[in-house]
Structure 1
Amino acid sequence: MILGIGLTSCSTAGTEKFTVAQLATYDGKNGNKAYIAVSGKVYDVTNVGEWNNGSHQGVSAGMDLTQVIGDAPHGKLVLDNLKIVGTLTK
């Protein structure tokens, strides 16, 4: 367990490109995968227990969280343990 949140996998760079609209479909609800974006990278949080049903501490999956990650108690360090599935495009 890393950072006390049950993450043990290593990052793997993905090559898929996501628009904001495409990312929004990965909201973790109704069987959808849960993806988040931070600083242009898209991460898979589908199997992270704290992201149950696409929500974590009042934040929803399927969004660019670049502006809010700094306020999280764990900061950006937790991202090092998530799988990168692609990049966020404008």
Structure 2
Amino acid sequence: MKKYRKTLIAIVVLLLLAGTGCARQQPADDTSASTESPQLELTLEELAAYNGKDGNPAYIAVDGVIYDVSDSSKWKDGEHNGYSARQDLTDIIKSKSPHGVSVLSRMPVVGKIVE
């Protein structure tokens, strides 16, 4: 019986130590936001630099949110169906686009428009 008791005590001690080690690895507060890329805050004038040309990323704004469309094959060189990246396309996407805002969920959000 003593043999089992020592084994049980050893297991409890190991579990306690393992639990303590895990607790130390977790941050004290929620720092998940710190692992995300920082969000840009751009005016519409600043957004104009992100045209998808000459090595610049292609950004569009819709409802104040800035999306990176650089990796989309539909936005080659910052152009798509006669429209250019670097601008607020809220009205165009909501009123003229056959897909509407649905495809934006596949685009990375990189920031927001500020005044």
Q: Tell me the distance in 2 between the aligned counterparts of 1:29 and 1:64.
A: 17
Q: Tell me the distance in 2 between the aligned counterparts of 1:64 and 1:14.
A: 21
Alpha-carbon offset, residue 14 of structure 1: 5.5
- Could you say which structure has the higher strand fraction? 1
Q: TM-score, normalised by structure 1?
A: 0.82
- Report which structure shows greater RCO (CA 8 Å, sep ≥6): 1
1:16 aligns with 2:28: no
* Deviation digits for residues 18-66 of structure 1 (CA, Å, limit 9, x no counterpart): 1111100000011110000000000000010110011000010000001
- Could you say which structure has the higher helix fraction? 2
With 14-23 and 31-40 compared, the bigger mean Cα shift is at 14-23
Q: Tell me the distance in 2 between the aligned counterparts of 1:13 and 1:75.
A: 26
**Which is greater in Rg?**
2
Q: Which residue of 2 aligns with 1:36?
A: 60
Q: Which residue of 2 aligns with 1:73?
A: 98
> For 2:89, what is the secondary structure of its paired residue?
coil
Aligned length: 79
Among 69, 85, 88, the alignment partner of 2:110 is: 85
Q: TM-score, normalised by structure 2?
A: 0.65
Q: Tell me the distance in 1 between the aligned counterparts of 2:99 and 2:66.
A: 18
Sequence identity percentage: 43
After the TM superposition, which parts of structure 1 deviate over 3 Å for at least 4 consecutive aligned residues? none
